[in-house]
Amino acid sequence: MSAWISPFRLRKAGILGMNERNVSYIARYNDRRAYPLVDDKLKTKLLAEEFDIKTPRLRQVVRQQHEIGHFREMAVDLEGFAIKPSKGSGGKGITVIKRREGDQYVKASGAHLTLGYLERHLSNILAGLYSLGGTPDVAIVEDLVRPTALLSKVSFQGVPDIRIVVFQGYPVMAMLRLSTRASDGKANLHQGAVGVGLDIGSGRALNAVQFNRQILLHPDTGLPVSDICIDDWDTMLVMAARCYEATGLGYIGVDLVLDEVEGPLLLELNARPGLAIQMANGKGLLPRLGNIESLKRPHYTPEKRAAYAMTTFGA
Amino acid sequence: MKQRSRYPFYLAIFLLIAAGIALAVTRHVQLGIPWLAGEQKPVWMVEARIDFEATGEEVLVSLNVPDNPPGFRVLSQQAASPGYGFSLIEDSGDLRAEWSIREADGGQTLYFNVQLTPDDSTDGSIRTIAPEPQAMFWEEPEATAVAEVLERAGAKSASPESMTRELIKLLRSSEPDQNIALLLNNNDYVTLVQRLLNHAGIPARVADGLKLEDARRLQPLRPFLQIHNGERWLTFHPETGQQGLPDDVVLWRQDADALLDVMGGQDSQISFSMLQQTVPALQLATREGGGNGLGFLSLYELPIEEQGMFRMLLLLPLGALVVAFMRIIIGIRTSGTFMPVLIAVAFVQTSLIPGLVAFLSVVAVGLVMRGYLSSLNLLLVARISALIILVIAITTGISIVGYQMGFNTGMTVTFFPMVILAWTIERMSILWEEDGPREVVIQGFGSLFVAVLAYLLMDAPLARHLTFNFPELHLVTFGLILLMGQYTGYKLTELRRFSPVKDFS
């Protein structure tokens, strides 16, 4: 098997390339003015609340250096939480604390952190270390998401999240991202997380890849990924579809998690969703995007759009 | 959302590119700016020397000088003549140099210098209104001979050109009949031909040509015959009848009646000497570019210091073009979008190998030091500031050590933009912590690769020459970059990234 593929074959498979995504979809359907809504997690959270999209509970917003002192008081009665830079990208600067051991905070990886470390981390976030372009940022502290037993079983550490690409309000493709040892508990595919393509019609696993190669078993947990089926699938699709109304962005990636208690929660939105989802699904995006673009009468409610997507794009 | 039509966009780009090329071609043709660097062109320095005996009265010397000689372009005209007032006078299409002095006595020498360069675009074929042939008066028995000769020549010819050729052939025949012998005996040959042609109703005149040979002195002018065929003046060699002017002959006098008039002097003589120089074509173009049509676009009008700056600035678009191409079409990942261009600019100043060595050593030492900084948990701004100081310290260290060891190249580190270096180190370091050394190597080498490519393009003599001498070509660069901005095809690296698609059902 050669390591190259002809562009004609790629086109025939309907694979969306980076340049085409940027020119024909992101530039055309995404209004620049709406970008801050998705690039800033705090704004996304507040916006989602207005549109009845559930997100992990917000515990604290640290905007100024001196507010870091309050973090100590607030963190006293929290068992698990996540610290995120509001304008971070690609999961950078996110610290997830699972539990406490005396004075120490324990990360998902099992590493022990001191309060001083977390305070310096907050200070780094404020200075803009993780933000796009290094601009000053705010840090948000939110409740820890506890994934359902089924999902946490297949994933190695970390929280498996579900990425749904929403085009003009229609969920067109979805995948589940499982962190691995190689990805250091992060759910970024290019760092080695496993991407599991999900059937839009049912939420069932279709195909799985790691480092762009097809796999059948999770490399760390050894469980077959093809058995995975997401609960509450239609709720998730409707939530994703609703993000279109919330932001007005025509081409977005919606990141959801499935919490044990709270059900589906919105983690973040991405105005420049990656292309790896095609590899995870074993299908190209272009035919589906073309289908939506050629719709004569679009559906006006998120529910109808989700239903249309389930029947049209379901396996 | 509706997609706007792309045609106006492509049309605009086409116009942009066409305008850039057209402007460049026009300037090349008009100003003679060469396409290639280092092109050489010959320049002839011709000196006319006038000697005469002044009679102690006021003196006025008037010399006909070349005015648009066919096949040549006049670069400069200069007179050297101590004590004389000098001016160039245009008198009814006839350019004359005039010297004057209130009083002069004894032997006088005047010089007139002209610089000429061969130029095919001025082949002298300017349309002119046909002048009336001069009326000629012949006395018997010449008149009869003339009529007979013209009849014989006219019988074999159909046009002024063929008439001229036939006439010359007749007159130069090895066994002239008695009519011709009579005419030749009583007349100067060239003047005779001219008079005969005029008599036949063909406007004709005698022009003076100078054969250009390197380093010759005391050269005379040679007569050439010119006839007017109704549209333009044509030159014939009076002896051979060959039409057209040899390449190495410049017509000094075409239109004027007299080559030299001297008032207040006697025994006047004129002689010519000449010298060939080879001058870079570019120097030639800039020397005369000045107020000439599109010459205002030339950057040579700027002070030298600004010129140096623009040489560098005008190379930047090429670097940007390389970066756009490598990122959009090829898909190479670089650390920082235009960092490679800035590194390439530094390479241009340091030259490649010393630049690479200096860059890699600064970044490597910087990364080690950054490792220590990161354990201090500094705020971002403070950390970058500290890094800038460290980079300057490393640069200084490398320079001093290099100098002590006898490598002047150590000094070249100073050309690197310090702030860019600091940011590069910072980014690399974060990349290392978050994505591992693999990504650092990929992006680091991607950046260096693009930087080296940009450097190779920017350092090419042709690129330097074209960007500076034809700044309008940047319209083409601009158009290409805009075109690439519309490219929606796959990147080269994506053909590899998506290769597992082959296994899709």
Q: What is the dihedral of CA B240, B246, B249, B253, to 10 degrees?
A: 60
Closest CA–CA distance from residue B377 to any residue of chain A (Å): 7
Does this complex have an ipTM over 0.90? no
Residue A310 — pLDDT band, cuts 50, 70, 90? very high
What number of other Cβ atoms are within 10 A of residue B408's Cβ? 10
Q: Which residue of B has its CA nearest to A14?
A: B501
Burial A272-310 (b: 16+ CB within 10 A, else e): bbbbbbbbbbbbbbbebbebbeeeeeebeebeebbbbbb
Three-class SS string for chain A? CCCCCCHHHHHHCCCCCHHHHHHHHHHHHCCHHHHHHHHCHHHHHHHHHHCCCCCCCEEEEECCHHHHHHHHHHHCCCCCEEEEECCECCCCCCEEEEEEECCEEEECCCCEECHHHHHHHHHHHHHCCCEHHHCCCCEEEEECCCECHHHHHHCCCCCCEEEEEEECCEEEEEEEEECCCCCCCCCCHHHCCEEEEECCCCCEEEEEEECCEECCECCCCCCEHHHCECCCHHHHHHHHHHHHHHHCCCEEEEEEEEECCCEEEEEEEECCCCCHHHHHHCCCCHHHHHHHHCCCCCCCCHHHHHHHHHHHHCC
- State whether residue A169 sits within 8 Å of chain B by CB: no
Task: Choose the closest CB to A23 out of B331, B486, B498.
Answer: B486
Residue numbers of chain B with a pLDDT score lower than 50: 1-2
Tracing tokens 């706007």 back to the chain, one arrives at B4
With 0-12 / 13-18 / 19 or more C-beta atoms within 10 angstroms meaning exposed / middle / buried, residue B296 is: exposed
- Residue A195 β-bridge partners: A177, A209
- State whether residue B495 sits within 8 Å of chain A by CB: yes
B358: nearest Cα among B403, B416, B417: B416
Written as six digits, the tokens of B192 are 């005779």
Backbone dihedral angles phi then psi of residue A217, each to the nearest 5 degrees: -115, 150
Helical segments of B351-379, H only: 352-375
The whole-angstrom separation of Cα A105 and Cα A75 is 10
- State whether residue B375 sits within 8 Å of chain A by CB: no
Closest CA–CA distance from residue B327 to any residue of chain A (Å): 10
Written as six digits, the tokens of B398 are 């490398």
Task: Choose the closest CB to B377 out of A120, A190, A213.
Answer: A120
- More confident of the two residues A215 and A252: A252
Q: Which residue of A has its CA nearest to B324?
A: A19
Mean pLDDT of chain A: 87
Query: With 60 as the cut, is the pLDDT of residue A232 above it?
Result: yes
Query: With 90 as the cut, is the pLDDT of residue A171 above it?
Result: yes
Q: Which amino acid is at B38?
A: G
B276: nearest Cα among B221, B222, B208, B211: B211
Q: Which residue of A has its CA nearest to B377?
A: A120
Backbone dihedral angles phi then psi of residue B467, each to the nearest 5 degrees: -65, -35
pTM for the full predicted model: 0.67
- State whether residue B58 sits within 8 Å of chain A by CB: no
What's the DSSP call for residue B5? P
Residue B494 with chain A: CB contacts under 8 Å: 10, 17-18
Contact A253, A32 (CB under 8 A): no
- State whether residue B419 sits within 8 Å of chain A by CB: no
Contact B209, B116 (CB under 8 A): no
Class of domain A58-143: alpha beta
**Residues 6+ away with beta carbon under 8 Å from B369:** B387, B390, B394
Q: Which residue of B has its CA nearest to A190?
A: B435
B207: nearest Cα among B314, B71, B315: B71
Residue A286 — pLDDT band, cuts 50, 70, 90? very high
**Residue from A6, A10, A211 whose CB has the most chain B CBs within 10 Å, to mutate:** A10
Written as six digits, the tokens of B315 are 């190379």
- 301-340 in chain B: CB under 8 A from chain A: 328, 331
Would you put residue A161 in left (φ > 0), alpha (ψ -120 to 50) or beta? beta
What percent of chain A clears pLDDT 90, i.e. is strictly above it?
A: 32
Written as six digits, the tokens of A178 are 């499982």
Contact B32, B284 (CB under 8 A): yes
Written as six digits, the tokens of B169 are 């052939």
Written as six digits, the tokens of B458 are 């920017």
Residue A172 — pLDDT band, cuts 50, 70, 90? very high
Q: Could you read off the pLDDT of A120-157 as tens digits, one per residue?
A: 889 888 888 787 666 788 999 998 888 888 888 888 87
**Residue from A1, A6, A15, A18 whose CB has the most chain B CBs within 10 Å, to mutate:** A18
Task: Choose the closest CB to A250 out of B1, B487, B497.
Answer: B1
Q: Could you read off the pLDDT of A34-82 as tens digits, one per residue?
A: 888 888 889 999 999 999 899 999 988 999 888 888 888 888 778 888 8
- Flag if B377 and A124 touch (Cβ within 8 Å): yes
Q: Is the peptide bond before B141 cis (omega within 30 degrees of 0)?
A: yes
- Flag if A17 and B490 touch (Cβ within 8 Å): yes
Three-class SS string for B77-101? EEEECCCCEEEEEEECCEEEEEEEE
pLDDT for position B1: 43
CATH topology of domain A7-53+148-313: D-amino Acid Aminotransferase; Chain A, domain 1 (3.30.470)
What number of other Cβ atoms are within 10 A of residue B503's Cβ? 11
Contact A214, A234 (CB under 8 A): no
| Fold equal for A7-53+148-313 and A58-143 | no
Q: Which residue of B has its CA nearest to A293?
A: B1
Closest CA–CA distance from residue A15 to any residue of chain B (Å): 8
In chain A, domain spans = 7-53+148-313, 58-143
Closest CA–CA distance from residue B392 to any residue of chain A (Å): 22
pLDDT for position A127: 82
Residue A123 with chain B: CB contacts under 8 Å: 377, 379
Would you put residue B241 in left (φ > 0), alpha (ψ -120 to 50) or beta? left
**Residues 6+ away with beta carbon under 8 Å from B133:** B197, B198, B199, B200, B201, B202, B203, B204
- Flag if A3 and B499 touch (Cβ within 8 Å): yes
pLDDT for position B4: 61
> For chain B, give me the number of helices (H) and strands (E)?
15, 13
Helix (H, G, I), strand (E, B) or coil at B130: coil
Written as six digits, the tokens of B415 are 């050309």
The whole-angstrom separation of Cα A164 and Cα B339 is 34
C-alpha B245 chain-centroid distance: 25
- Flag if B490 and A19 touch (Cβ within 8 Å): yes
pLDDT for position A155: 81
- State whether residue A298 sits within 8 Å of chain B by CB: no
Contacts A–B by Cβ distance under 8 A: 89
